[in-house]
Chains A and B, each alone.
Chain A
Amino acid sequence: MVINLLQKINFPNLSIKQRLVLQLVIVSILIAFSLFFLIKNITNQVMTTTQDRLLTASLNSIIDKFYTSNKDISLDLPYDTFSLLGAISEDKLFYKINYNDKFLTGYQKFPMVLKYGNLRKPIFYNLIFENEKIRVAAIKHSIYVNGKKNLLFIKIGQTLNFQSSISSQITNNLLLIILIFLVLSIILVLLATRISLQPITLLANDLNKRKPNDLTLVKNNVPIELAPLVLSLNSFVKKFRGVLRTTETFVAEAAHHIRTPLSIVKSESEIAFLKSKTKSNREHLRNIIRSIDETNRYTTQLLDNAMVLYRLEKLEKQNFSITKSLVHLINVFKPAADLKDINFSTTFNFKSKFIVTDKLLFETAIRNLIDNSIKYAPIETNINLDYKFFNNVHEIKIKNQINKKLNTSKSALFKRFYRGQNSKNIIGSGLGLSLVNEIILGLNGQFKILKYKEKEFCISVQFFC
């Protein structure tokens, strides 16, 4: 019944530990109360039996003090026995003796009873007399006077003061014992729960400590009940690692297999272009090369996109110098910028500062932004890369001039495949800014376009420590 009751109680918001503790505490309380009532009941029974025996003994004493002569009977009341009964806890003693239905001695008002027992088996019952609860023993006893049978009806009652006093003492002691039992059992419940749930707690802590990109197998020793869960978790991790590995290989292979033939087509076309003398041939070849560049740009951006999606699933954070990385990226792009006589200037408010993030994604984002700024900046202009560290924020601003004001909304610039009005004759895919936005958001950063409506374009990228 208790098990059914516990099963029916639903604790939707409680942890397994809390549920277990609560259930065990409820069981402990139930056991404690059951024990309390059981012991109290037994004690009451023992006391009642004791009192009944004393009353029986008193009846015996009374009977013993009856004397018969030829005609009469005489009774020498056993006051010593009465005083003994009354002495305990100042209990009052009542008695009434009738001789053949005639009141003989005692309390005349003592109520009549319907049933009487005998000396071997008196009748016991409780009644209220003179506002006191009393225990009464009643017997009917036959005596012979002159060979004639006469009946003695004897009732003797005792108040229950002693019993009540003992009962209340026992109740108090019992309550104390039960309370100690409860406290001890709660402590034991907590200890037992903690020990029993330790493998689960360790597993939970271990899983909590894991970072989203942690794809190592769970190696905790767990109870057999949890083994299938850990087993399926580990097999999921293995499968996921496999999928990621396949994706990585696929993206890398795709990049290689797409770019290599593109390189051949492009280099062959360039050679043909350089050797070509006629204007129309040169124009045709130039168009082919531009198309190859467009294709290459789309391919690169799409592969970048695939790489970013893959990489965001398993960020590989590392501590690296953000300033060194920015300088490195500028150096990488310098030859490309030189082709347009574009100058790079930098303003760093810290010469050296470190950041903890995924370096590959960070550099992919910044590379895209620098590449964009070189593409859209007019020749012989300046690109400024500004780095600031303040209030635990790394902020990178890239400023460049643009040929034409952009009459569009900022959100449109983040749309995939959207290209601004200034993109005419500039090879691009329209994926760059959306990709950068995705990366920065994935790295918990912030990407803003600060200026775009003047002939200046300025973006800001923020990473939070």
Chain B
Amino acid sequence: MKTLIIEDTKKLADTLQKFFSMNGNNADISYNLEDAYHYVEITHYDIILLDIMLPDGDGRDFLQKLRKKNNLTPIIVMTAKFEISDKVDILDLGADDYIIKPFEFIELEARCRAVLRRKNNNHQHTLAFGNVNLFPQTATIEINGHAQSLRNRELRLLEIFFNSPNIIFSKNQITDRIFSISDIVSENTIEVYVARIRKKIEKSNVILETMRGIGYKLTTKN
């Protein structure tokens, strides 16, 4: 996923970029609107994170101009003052979603996923491993033509493993990806989700293997 972060607060923009990089995504930063116009003209982005109050103008103007040019790149507005004086609904201006600062990365990630899912509704993206197909847009898995629905955390867990099969993920890594950091999560919780996933994929040639003392990995049955 390629992201453009339009944010004038350098430290915030930089940490956002770090977060996207840690998850294997690319992110460019624009600290003002002038650079942002330049970036969107030369590069295609999967998603744009846009701040409202920028040094050289209002993020809403950028949003309007982009939509007038028929640029339909999903945009999530990050704002600190949304509730106070925004008389024009930013969603009416063409934003796909908004998030109020300060936000959790996990929430931002969830919103990005939701927006991308909505935008790519007609373009079903499939993740496959072994004889299991994972459809993130519809939150379903299909094994030998038999479809099962997934809960959000089950989907997130499977997405992590399907994106990196045969890679070991520790309980901490999994917890960080599917739970809010401020949530109090017991170690058993991950085991509960892993057990559910195992039950859903038991008829496939794929297993979620426990690497004792290390974590879990997705692999095929020998």
Contact = CB atoms under 8 A, between A and B. Distances in A.
A248 B16 CA distance: 29
A275 B23 CA distance: 12
Nearest to B118: A331
Task: Give the most central of A259, A290, A339: most B CB within 10 Å.
Answer: A339
Contact of B105 (A270, A293, A300, A336): A270
Contact of A248 (B85, B151, B152, B180): B85
Contacts of A336: 107, 110
B111 A335 contact: yes
A268 B110 contact: no
A289 B84 contact: no
A286 B114 contact: no
Nearest to A360: B83
Given A256-B53, A267-B16, A289 B181 contact: yes
Interface stretch (B56-64, B95-103, B129-137): B95-103
B9 A260 contact: yes
A158 B176 CA distance: 130
Given A252-B81, A274-B22, A296 B102 contact: yes
Interface string B139-155: 00000000000011100
Contacts of B93: none
A317 to B, nearest CB: 13
A271 B15 contact: yes
B81 A266 contact: no
Interface string A330-364: 00101110110100000000000000000010001
A303 interface: yes
Contact of B181 (A255, A262, A273, A341): A273
Size category, A interface: 35 or more
Contact of A286 (B18, B19, B182): B182
A341 to B, nearest CB: 5
Nearest to A380: B151
A328 interface: yes
Interface of A is mostly: helix
B106 interface: yes
Contacts of A296: 102
Contacts of A264: 9, 11-12, 15
B42 interface: no
B172 interface: yes
A307 interface: yes
A292 B102 CA distance: 9
Nearest to A245: B85
Nearest to A282: B172
Contact of A263 (B18, B84, B103, B114): B103
B182 A303 contact: no
Interface string A118-140: 00000000000000000000000
Interface in A251-297: 251-253, 255-256, 258-260, 262-268, 270-271, 273-275, 282, 285-286, 289-290, 292-293, 296
B19 A259 contact: no
A256 B78 CA distance: 11
A303 B81 CA distance: 10
B97 A332 contact: yes
A425 B9 CA distance: 31
B214 interface: no
A273 B176 contact: yes
Contacts of A438: none
A187 to B, nearest CB: 53
B80 interface: yes
B12 A260 contact: yes
A304 interface: yes
7 contacts: A255-B80, A256-B80, A263-B101, A270-B181, A332-B98, A335-B113, A425-B184
Given A251-B84, A380-B151, A427-B182, 13 more contacts: A253-B81, A263-B101, A263-B103, A264-B12, A265-B102, A267-B12, A267-B19, A273-B181, A274-B19, A282-B172, A303-B84, A304-B83, A336-B110
9 nearest CB pairs, A to B: A263-B102, A259-B80, A267-B15, A335-B110, A338-B152, A252-B84, A263-B101, A266-B102, A256-B80
